[in-house]
Amino acid sequence: MPNSLIKANSMQKKYSRIFKMVCAAALLISFVLPLFAGDYYMRLISLIFIYIILAVGYNISAGFSGITSFAFAAHYGVGAYVSAVAITRYNMPFLVGLLAGALASGLVGLVVSLPASKVKHHYLALISIGLLEIVQQILNEWQWFTGGSGGMYIPSWDIFSISLNNFQKYYVIFIIMLFCVVLQRNLMKSRWGRDLIAIKNNEIAAAGVGINYSKYRIAGYFLSSILAGLAGSVYASFSGYLSPDTFNFEFTVFILLMAVVGGEGTLSGPIIGAVFVTFIPMLFNAAPDLKQIVFGALLVILPQVMPAGIAGTIKKYFKEIDNNNYIVEKTEGNEFDIERNVIKNNSEIEDILVVKGLTKRFGGVTAVDGLDMTIKRGTVHSLIGPNGAGKSTTVNMITGIDKPSEGSITFNGKEITGDKFFNLTKKGLSRTYQHVRLFNNLSVVENVAIGGRLFYSYSIIDSIFRTRKMKKEERKSFHEAMEYLKIINLNDKANYDPESLSAGQQKLLELARALYMKPDLLVLDEPCAGLSETETMEFAKIIHKIRNAGISILMIEHHMDLVMEISDYITVIDYGKKIAEGDPASVNTNPVVKTAYLGEGA
């Protein structure tokens, strides 16, 4: 077990205490409010609780998963009507109707997200507008089911054959809202939440740590649709009357405004947004026609002056307020041993990677032409050549980002030609990128910890209820992530944003993430780009440690002194074709290589 001690600093502890006091005060006020407030205010706060549930659902979709949808008013309406019909027409208990409405909304979300996962995000937004219009037509025209434009009544709200009054309804809604807020918090503080955030930040890098982003995007939208349907189900029994006009595009604008005001991708944003946006219309009771103008103006102006919303802006100026940030206060014991943390592959196959006839064409341009290359287990194999020679295209085909036009790729004795990137990571292959790809919405230590996601075993249920198993695995993962940060001398910047690091430090951070995946083959695409001479020397030492640990390395690099120093074998390509191969000494003296690099008169 790694021995780094990760603790919050004094400022983090101060903000954590303040945050807990604010939460305790809000909970206390919410709990005792019905004892002092009148019926009007009790119903108003109950409505805000319902909107918080809806905003939490939208936040999981747009804020964390990066899936913008204009159909949440439709999901809200589906949940409301299905729940109302289940309770009134089929005499189902309230809790069963609640579940029916949530699941119906989730199924609608699933039907929409399955085809939408094949297209870009803006196409999903267009599809969602179509869904909103379809639901509007169904609610207005399907008289038997919805009552049509005249709406439908829900006569009572019964739980266990007990008819609830407004006082009791308030506490039921309060409990459901608390459950949804805690669910969001627990989910986003787990590997499942980090996976969704990673997809929003960078799909290719997410696939590079083993995330099937299409399935995760579907799962994220499905969960958010369920929460929207749950909010609609609660609203149906709370209001006692449903009308199709409630679930129109105007209400979609209301939902978007909650996200914009509160702050997408923050845990407290849905609460702040729901409170503010509920009270804004009250300022225009004397001129209701102005409400939509104000809503539209806020949607245009707020992203310009406060793009992160209220919660995001507070976090920007008070970074330590995020209680998920950590630093190392103390380190004990010996240096972290890479070799002890490598997954041993006992394969007797000496050639870990075999490439035969690899070809890639982009239209009429052949980027890689019939390349043959073999990488021996436990070696550093460099792939070099002039700019535009096809090096990055080659490693993109090997790692599953690009699909070869011709040829075959064999890894650990099994053909992987055309295999998906996220599948290859599970087979023991990880990589860094020519242009750095980090998850900027995650801290430095979280960027490394997500590399170890392949070794988690706790389920989404463990995440929601924060079981002992989940806490143990998370603690172990973050401790080990800190040890990998120590290898690249970034452990003192564990709670920084990746964007605050220098270009060289970002490259090293990518290396630490790829290394934490404990691969058989580590692919490095220009890892020293942006590194200083001192950092390059340190990098060479790290490469020696990695190779000594038994990890094979395929590296693209333009720093020739480094290539000659650390490589066991070198393959040289030019215009997509192999022109030389061998040990550093033979390649260094090859006249064809000199001509390719220096020109005809070399």
Q: What is the pLDDT of residues 120-154, one digit of tens each?
A: 556 677 778 888 888 888 888 888 888 888 888 88
Pair type for strands 351-362 and 365-376: antiparallel
Q: What is the pTM of this model?
A: 0.88
Q: What is the pLDDT of residues 489-503, one digit of tens each?
A: 888 888 888 998 988
pLDDT score of 3 more than 50: no
Domain with CATH 3.40.50.300 in the chain: 351-598
Instruction: Output Rg (C-alpha) for the chain, integer angstroms.
Output: 28
Q: Where are the beta strands (DSSP E) in 127-261?
A: 152-153, 158-159, 162-163, 241-242
Nearest residue to 526 (alpha-carbon basis) of 565, 560, 575:
560
Query: What's the CATH number of domain 351-598, 3.40.190.10, 3.40.50.300, 3.30.450.40, 3.40.605.10?
Result: 3.40.50.300
E strand or H helix at 380: strand 380-384
Q: What is the pLDDT of residues 240-258, one digit of tens each?
A: 889 888 888 888 888 988 9
pLDDT score of 176 more than 70: yes
Q: How confident is the model at residue 54 (pLDDT cuts 50, 70, 90)?
A: very high
* Separation CA 46–CA 209 (nearest Å): 42
DSSP letter (8 states) at residue 335: P
Answer whether 290's CB lies under 8 Å from 338's CB.
no
CATH of domain 37-321: 1.10.3470
Nearest residue to 464 (alpha-carbon basis) of 197, 276, 210, 187:
187
Q: What is the pLDDT of residues 547-562, one digit of tens each?
A: 888 899 999 988 888 8
CA geometry: angle at 294 spanning 291 and 297, to 5°? 150
Cβ contacts of residue 178 below 8 Å, gap of 6+?
Answer: none
* Separation CA 95–CA 79 (nearest Å): 13
Specify the pLDDT at position 346.
Answer: 57
4-18, 200-214, 378-392, 415-429: which range is least confident on average? Answer: 4-18
Q: What is the pLDDT of residues 453-464, one digit of tens each?
A: 988 889 989 998
pLDDT score of 398 more than 70: yes
Domain with CATH 1.10.3470 in the chain: 37-321
- Adjacent-strand bridge partners of 330: 5
E strand or H helix at 383: strand 380-384
